Amino acid sequence: MLRLANVSKRFGGLSVLQDVSFEVPQGRVVGLIGPNGAGKTTVLNIITGLVAPTSGAITLDGSALTGLKPHQVTRRGVGRTFQNIRVFKEMTLLENVVVGMHAHLNYGVGGLMFSLPAFRRREHEARDKARELLSWVGLEGKAFELADNLSYGDQRKLELARALATEPRLLLLDEPVAGMNSGEKVELMKQVGQISRRGYTILLIEHDMRFVMGLCDQVAVLNFGRIIAEGPPEQIQRNPDVIEAYLGRDEDAVPGEPLGATA
C-alpha cells in the first residue's frame, strides 16, 4: 500500500535520512524502530506532508504523495497520531472525534446557516460514528467528559480515535504507548490489534520492544538515517546489526543473543 523509494532529507548541512526505502503491505502492521535520533518521526512527517523530502518518492496505492499538503494527504486516506499529544482539551471526547471527520463532512453553506434536515442528519451520523470509534478504544463511557480531565493514557487513546475519524486506509502511529503503564500498554496492544483486523493498514513507531514484537507483522530498523534491517519480528530480534544499534558492541556478548524485550 505504501512505498518509500530512496527518500532522503537534509536540514542545512545535516543529513537526517539517507536513501530510505521500505514498503507497508496492505492489511499488515509494520513497525519502524530505531534508537533516539534515528529519523523515525521525520519519516512520518515526510509521509504526511509536514516536511518535504530532499529527494526520493512516496506512493500510496501507486499514487504519489510527495509534494502534497497535509490535508491533501489526509484526504488520500492517511491518518496519524503524534508523539506529543494534540487533543483539544477544552472539548468533549465526542467533539474531539467529530473534529477528525471534518475533511469528509460536506454540509454546504445553506445547511450550516439554516440547519437544514440534511445537515442535522449528517451531524447525527457523525456523532454516532464518533461514539463507535470511542468504543473501539474503550472510551465510550466518557464521551461527554472534557478531554482535559482524561488521564495521559486515555488522551493517547482519544487521539487514536480521532485519527480513525479521518477515515484512513493507512494509519500512522507515532509512539502510541509512550508514557503508559504496563497495563495500559497491554490494553492498547489488544485494541490496535482489533483495529488491524477490521482492515486497517498500520505503520507505527515505538520504543517499547514488547509492544512492537507482539503486534507487528514485520519490522524495519532505522539507524543514523538508514534502514539497516527488515523482516519479521523474530528475525529482527536476533539481528546483530540491530542489537549493536540499540545496545552497542560487546566483544564478550553471546552470538545470537536476542534484543531485550523492553529495550
Residue carrying C-alpha cell 512492537: 212
Task: Report the distance separating Cα 95 and Cα 88, nearest Å.
Answer: 9
Task: Tell me the pTM.
Answer: 0.86
99 within 8 A of 162, measured Cβ to Cβ: yes
Q: What is the pLDDT of residues 170-193, one digit of tens each?
A: 999 999 999 899 999 999 999 999
pLDDT of 252: 47
pLDDT of 262: 40
- Mean pLDDT in residue range 97-105: 78
Domain 2-89+153-247 classified CATH 3.40.50.720?
Answer: no
- The domain limits of the chain are 2-89+153-247
pLDDT of 84: 86
- Mean pLDDT in residue range 200-222: 95
pLDDT of 83: 85
Concatenating the DSSP letter of every residue in the chain gives: -EEEEEEEEEETTEEEEEEEEEEE-TT-EEEEE-STTSSHHHHHHHHTTSS--SEEEEEETTEE-TT--HHHHHHHTEEE--SS----TTSBHHHHHHHTTGGG----HHHHHHT-HHHHHHHHHHHHHHHHHHHHTT-GGGTTSBGGGS-HHHHHHHHHHHHHTT--SEEEEESTTTT--HHHHHHHHHHHHHHHHTT-EEEEE-S-HHHHHHH-SEEEEEETTEEEEEE-HHHHHT-HHHHHHHH---TTSPTTPPPPTT-
Residue 254 predicted with pLDDT over 70: no
Single-letter amino acid code for the residue at 63: S
Q: Specify the higher pLDDT residue, 165 or 261.
A: 165
pLDDT of 258: 58
pLDDT of 85: 86
Query: Which grid coordinates are listed for 76?
Result: 488520500
Task: Report the distance separating Cα 74 and Cα 52, nearest Å.
Answer: 16
Query: Which grid coordinates are listed for 81?
Result: 497520531
Task: Report the distance separating Cα 64 and Cα 207, nearest Å.
Answer: 29
Q: What is the pLDDT of residues 4-25, one digit of tens each?
A: 999 999 998 899 999 999 999 9
Query: Which grid coordinates are listed for 29?
Result: 502492521
